[in-house]
Structures are given as structure tokens and as C-alpha cells.
Amino acid sequence: MLALAVVLLGGVTFANVHLHGKSQVHEATRSHLSELNMLLHEESSVLWKAVADRNSPVNVARELGESRMRERALLKALQGDLPAGTLADLEKSVAAYRAVLDTELGLLGVGKISEAKALEKRETEPRFGRLNARLHSLEDQAADAADLANNIADLALGIAMTVAVAAIGRLLYRFEREHRLTTKANEEMLEQQQIALDTLAEHEALIRHQASHDPLTGLPNRRLLTELLEGSGGHDQALLLVDLDNFKPVNDQLGHAAGDDLLVGVSSRLLSAVRADDTVVRLGGDEFAIVIAGGDAGIAVRVAERIVTAVGDPFEIAGTEVRVGASVGVAISGGGRDGNQLLRDADMAMYQVKQGSKGGFAVYHEPDVRLIHQAVR
């Protein structure tokens, strides 16, 4: 019983695939006929559009040549899809229509527009009308054939499926319940496992993020900065240390909540002042660091200038205009100096600014170990 159902279903499936394949062939034929009809219609439009646009006959002939190359390809694609006699008649009709269009093009080329219009009305339009009707008829036949093949295939498959289901239904019924119970148990177990894994991954990600990021600003913290400096792989790096000027009065006068809001605002401006590949770090308190990707000294200086300018603009905190400044120390790696030395160099440069007028930046240079202060404000 089961073997008979399988054989029946396999045979009908094969027939179904074959019939659907024939349906696709008929659909392709209909599509080719429709495109051919459109191209033939466009040929006439190209002629009169050329007159309106004052296009040259040479350009028109070129456009017609491109259209006819596509038409020939479509007629070739129809070989085997249409009866030989039908295709031959269609090719003759197309050739006759083209001949009239070529005559029109010749008249237009010598400026005989009235004669071309007369020829269009007398021969071109009737020929195209007959050709259009013929193509539409062939399209309808192809569409009907495709629908018929699909309907037969669907009907046969439906009957076969009904017979197959009836034949094997009783045989499978006894196993279905056990299969459902087993599947449900497995799904529940997998779902619980996935929930546990997702929860564990979320906790691990949260712990990693908390360990390497500042909870107030969301910026990387000193630990992540150390990893960045140690993981440079010997490549040059540039480091900027940023210390806010006049931050303590904000905390004293407006409160710690206002101070926190100011730190968040400064973080946002620092992120806007650096490039996408650079890293902004909060070291703690009112100190920040920026790692410049690539270690280019010129870029580091330009970033320092932007930071001093951005932080120097007023902030709106707790309904009050607040002004702070930024003292920035810049250090460039090189000469085998490690991350700790780079931090010390940047700190020395920043200290030089703090000792001066503040609100600027200084660059630490090697090997002559001199500090250059450049006030921006």
C-alpha cells in the first residue's frame, strides 16, 4: 500500500514538473511576443520623434538598427516555440513592416514629411495593426496554453496527493503522536538551552563592557586605554591627554549632578572633534584621553585644536551657561617608547599647559625633549 502510494506520487510529481516546465516555455513565448510587439511599435515612434526633435536620419537609423537586432534575437528565440509555418508568416510580416518604415525613413531624410505621413496612414498603420493583432493573438494562445498546462499539472498533483494521503495516512497516524511529543520535548529543551546561552552571553557582554567602559559617559576607561597602547604592535601612536579647566567650580556651585551633565556634554564634544577611527577615553574625574589612529603628528595637532575650541564653547547646564576650558597634552610615539612612556610624555605636555594660560595644548617632542605650547583661545 505504501509502496503503491509512493510510486503514484512519484509518477504524478514527474508529470507535474514536466507540465510546469511546458507552462514556463509558453510564458516565455508570450513574453517574447509581447516584447517584439513593443519594439515594432517603437520603431514607428522613433521616426516621428526624430522629426519633432530634429534628430538626424543617421541617429534614427542607429536606433532602428539596435531595435532590429533585438527583434531578430526574439524571433530566433521563438524558434521551436511556434509552429514553423506560423513563425515564417510572422517573419514575413515583420520584414514587410520594416520595409515600409525604411521607406518612411528615406522620405524623412530628404525632408518629404507630407509624403511620409501619407505613407504612414496608407501602409504603415494598417500593416502594424494587422501585425499587432497577430502578435496579440499568438500571445493569447501562449497564455492559454500556459494556463492549461498549469491547471492540468495542479489538478493531477491534487488528485495524487489526495490518494497518497489517504493511502499512507493510516500508516503514519500511530507514529504522529509520538513524533509530536518527542519534537515538542526537544524543542522545549533546545529553547531552554538557547535562553540560558543568550542570558550567559548577555551577562558576559555586560561584564566585559562594564569592566572596560565608564558608567557615566559610556566611553572606554583607563583599562581599555592600556590595552590599546599595549596592543599597538610596534606601530606609531599619538596620544592626547585632556584635563578640564575650571571644572571644580561647577561641582561646587551647581552640584555633582550638574558636574555629571557637564562631563557627558564634554564627552559628546570630544567624540565630535575626533575622527571615526580615533578612540576617546575617560580616565576618571575630569580627565580624558584620545588615541589617534596611525600616530600622525599633524592630525594629532589638528584634533587638539578642535578639542580646545569645542570644549571652550559655553555649555547649557541646569539652566545656566557654563564655561570651562581644555588643557591638552600631545605625545607621539617613536624611538621605541612604550605606552607608559607615551602617557608620561602626554602628561608632561598637559602639565605645561596647566602651568601657563590654560585653554590650549602643548606637544611633547623627541629627542630634544622640548615642550611647545600653542594657546588656541
Catalytic residue set: 286
Distances (CA, A) of 101 to 50, 95, 169, 207, 368: 13, 10, 66, 78, 87
Q: In 3D, which of 350, 112, 94, 87 has the Cα closest to residue 241?
A: 350
Cα distance between residue 163 and residue 291, in whole Å: 73
What type of residue sits at position 213? H
Cα distance between residue 218 and residue 106, in whole Å: 76
Q: In 3D, which of 270, 272, 273 has the Cα closest to residue 281?
A: 270
Q: In 3D, which of 117, 145, 166 has the Cα closest to residue 26?
A: 145
Task: Label residue 2 exposed, middle or buried (CB < 10 Å: 0-12, 13-18, 19+).
Answer: exposed
What type of residue sits at position 315? F
Task: Label residue 220 exposed, middle or buried (CB < 10 Å: 0-12, 13-18, 19+).
Answer: buried
Q: In 3D, which of 277, 336, 321, 342 has the Cα closest to residue 303?
A: 277
Joined together, the cell numbers standing for residue 310 give 569645542
Length of the chain: 377
Joined together, the cell numbers standing for residue 200 give 550567559
